[in-house]
Structure 1
Amino acid sequence: MDTSTSSTIAAILGEPLPVELMNTVRGGRGEVRDALDGDVAVHAWLNAMAERILAESGAQTIRFPLEDARIVAGDLRALRDALRCLASEVTEDPRPPTSGTAHAQAVATINTLARIRAELVWPVDGEPTRTVTARGSQARLTVGLIARQAVDFFGGQGRHQLRACLASHCVLYFVKEHPRREWCTPKCGNRARVKRHYDRQSPAGS
């Protein structure tokens, strides 16, 4: 079992779950780092997202044992690469690609992994709720939930609001919910403004 830890921590921006998964790579000066590069890193990301998964799946409790994270790690990375492939196309992303996945393969991967079933839970003496189920562990449910949300996201109007953050060295995506938003985080916005100022002050061609 791979128990290596990752020095890269994924950005968690409060974006839709498919976009959060896209953002499990981080940019750097001349390199792209994978925040899901080992079983422990996958386990840590699943636990970081546990409250979101609990709320959006309708589950009563959520638990991600390390062994379950190991089992789904490959699928989670494949789903991430598929999402980034389609995100790059949708946004006409000018940045170098971080995914070697082709369009047809990306679509097939999402469809294959989007195997969850919605169920109505309605106790006689309680309020109705919606929950989703999948074969296997809650880690497997998480992969299916994100893939199903990706189907809705790319197949609906949400994809038109997806943006690539074009700040220097950034490789993240975000959903442009506010007309004035240009960057994934204020930090990237500040960095971009500093670069613009520097470029204006620098002699042309220097």
Structure 2
Amino acid sequence: MAAQTLVLDLALTVRHDGHGGVADDLADRDGLRAWVRERAADLGVVAFTPDAETCEEVRALRAAVRALFAHAVRPDAPSPADARRLLPLDEAVRLVNAAAARVPAVPRLGWPEGADPVATVSPVGAPGPEDALVAALGRAAVAFLTGPDRERLRACHAPRCVRYFLKEHPRQAWCKPSCGNRARVARHHERHAAASGA
């Protein structure tokens, strides 16, 4: 899984709950366990049972990622879920860097017979699953935020949406078609309310 997918998946664990509020898919240990299980191979984590401290660390890292996403989409507005509670930029950067450094890693060269050389990054030692998880998420955030996809990052501003997304084509304004439909319906209601009130 590419860093863009992993870090976007982390940010999208904050979502609209369908009732006008915001839901947190990582609110408890079961939510984090399920989320990690779906991405175990990409995270390098197997047989993971999170403790309360790891849950809090991952949520703090997610808050840092969402703050950095809000900074990346400027001058556009951040997600409505983040607008009032963004971490300061320097704190968000510090949290992401600390997470990425949690497991020391070294680059390794591989050169299979008849193929091009490849570089991989391997952990030094045998990290525990908690450290491996936090480090993998931190590194994915660094890779995404310093890579070319950051320029395509947008916050969806459809009514009730709190998602970030990667803009796939020049006219894309929402994260998914249903958000576009909600935005058009809201504009329609606003126009008719303004017309009937005039």
TM-score bracket, shorter-length normalisation: 0.7 to 0.9
Superposition map of 1:184-195 within 5 A: 184-195=175-186
Unaligned runs of 5+ in 2: none
Does the 8 Å CA contact 2:4/2:149 hold for their aligned counterparts?
no
- What is the CA-CA distance between 1:86 and the residue it aligns to? 1.4
Identify the match of residue 33 of structure 1 among 17, 20, 23: 23
Does the 8 Å CA contact 1:46/1:64 hold for their aligned counterparts?
no
Q: Does residue 43 of structure 1 match 2:25?
A: no
In structure 1, the residue matched to 2:82 is 97
Gap change, CA 1:63 and 1:90, over 3 Å in 2 = same
- What is the CA-CA distance between 1:153 and the residue it aligns to? 2.3
Give the SS at the match of 1:194. Answer: helix
Q: Does residue 150 of structure 1 match 2:141?
A: yes
Higher relative contact order (CA 8 A, sep 6+): 2
Unaligned runs of 5+ in 1: 1-13
Percent sequence identity is: 34
In structure 2, the residue matched to 1:11 is none
Q: Does residue 23 of structure 1 match 2:6?
A: no
- Give the residue type in structure 1 aligned to 2:99: L
Give the SS at the match of 2:188. Answer: helix
Number of residue-to-residue matches in the alignment: 185
Does the 8 Å CA contact 2:7/2:137 hold for their aligned counterparts?
yes
Superposition map of 1:16-165 within 5 A: 16-28=5-17, 29-51=19-41, 53=42, 62-66=45-49, 68=50, 70=52, 72-91=54-73, 92-94=76-78, 95=80, 97=82, 99-115=85-101, 116=103, 117-120=105-108, 122=110, 130-133=120-123, 136-165=127-156
User: What CA distance in whole angstroms lies between the structure 1 residues aligned with 2:176 and 2:6?
Assistant: 17
User: What CA distance in whole angstroms lies between the structure 2 residues aligned with 1:177 and 1:142?
Assistant: 29
- What is the CA-CA distance between 1:118 and the residue it aligns to? 4.4
Does the 8 Å CA contact 1:24/1:36 hold for their aligned counterparts?
yes
User: What CA distance in whole angstroms lies between the structure 2 residues aligned with 1:164 and 1:113?
Assistant: 24
In structure 2, the residue matched to 1:7 is none
